[in-house]
Chains A and B, each alone.
Chain A
């Protein structure tokens, strides 16, 4: 039995086809979820793809946050289901307060589209478990507002509780601080992706879904997509995911 993973489609999403392809490569059965859909029963995982939902008007992700499907996504997340937001999907999750922090305009002001190196952390989470051995991962970024920001207390808490899942890396393998060449947008502490306190909702700015086959230039992203799929399958069969805790207990 293949696991069904929903791909949320907002007006202005443009990486949905890549997300569908990546989920197929990872062995899942993708299902498009329209932004007006309030009922998403039947999916065991959710992927929010990249793009420019609602034109990114006002702030990236904020209009999408109030769409009917996001109420369903928030409910799904509260029940412990795995949710992954990529790029614009991460911005939507941040605006919806489903993951901590905010994405500010890139420090260099430019839209940045290039390959980056990511260092994964905590290899046993719902979004990293299938990566295998910890190693640098190469995949593209393409965004204008990807500078991860949270106040110092939140950053400390994230690091202490294992909330940081991916950081940008320099060529020498060190973590890329805000001013470093390996950091495309000025993200604080080199943070490229985080998860919520419960552990079942994560977002990242880079695009693992466009790095899932050698013909695309890299397949380093496949482990992240496959992690989501495996977690969705686990949630569908057991109602829980290894390495997560209920949202009510986690306090957010």
Chain B
């Protein structure tokens, strides 16, 4: 990575669009009574993808993430995504990833 390039860590959270049948979420929901848990509904299972992006500044890095989240990580017919900035990182972003893992 050259001196002029900085590195930013992002997470992309992809979830099924409202109204799309999510059989995985339903299966999770149906298992809850076995744990003695009640009162939980609307479970939706998605995926979280984390990455480090090298760019001149955070806005440029964010633009890259927005593009790949829409073109590759999600299918707009059935999923929606949100980009979660995790801040600037010094190297490969491993430390940031470990720190951000708690929220995932």
Contacts and interface: CB of A to CB of B under 8 A. Distances in A.
A185 to B, nearest CB: 10
Nearest to B23: A109
Point out which of B20, B72, B77 has the most chain A C-beta atoms below 10 A from its C-beta: B77
- Best-buried of A104, A149, A150 by chain B (most CB within 10 Å): A104
A109 B24 CA distance: 7
B27 interface: yes
A56 to B, nearest CB: 13
A161 B27 CA distance: 36
B73 A107 contact: no
Interface string A106-122: 11110000000000000
A151 B75 CA distance: 13
Contacts of B27: 109
Interface residues of A, number: 18
Interface in B1-39: 20-21, 23-24, 27
Interface in A79-115: 95, 101-102, 104-109
Nearest to A101: B77
25 contacts: A58-B73, A59-B75, A62-B75, A66-B72, A95-B75, A101-B77, A102-B77, A102-B78, A104-B20, A104-B21, A104-B78, A105-B23, A106-B23, A107-B21, A107-B23, A109-B23, A109-B24, A109-B27, A147-B21, A149-B77, A149-B78, A150-B77, A151-B77, A186-B21, A186-B23
A103 B23 CA distance: 13
Interface of B: 20-21, 23-24, 27, 72-73, 75, 77-78
Contacts of A104: 20-21, 78
A101 B77 CA distance: 7
B78 to A, nearest CB: 5
A106 B24 CA distance: 10
Contacts of B73: 58
Given A58-B73, A106-B23, 15 more contacts: A59-B75, A95-B75, A101-B77, A102-B75, A102-B78, A104-B20, A104-B21, A105-B23, A105-B24, A107-B23, A109-B23, A109-B24, A149-B77, A150-B77, A151-B77
Contact of A149 (B20, B23, B24, B72): B20
Contacts of A62: 72, 75
A60 to B, nearest CB: 10
Nearest to B45: A105
Contacts of B24: 105, 109
Nearest to B79: A59
Interface string A30-68: 000000000000000000000000000011001000100
A59 B28 CA distance: 20
Closest 10 CB pairs of A and B: A102-B77, A102-B78, A109-B23, A107-B23, A102-B75, A105-B23, A109-B27, A59-B75, A149-B78, A104-B78
Contacts of B72: 58, 62, 66
Contacts of A102: 75, 77-78
A151 B19 CA distance: 10
A40 to B, nearest CB: 23
Contacts of B21: 104, 107, 147, 149, 186
A150 B27 CA distance: 23
Nearest to B76: A102
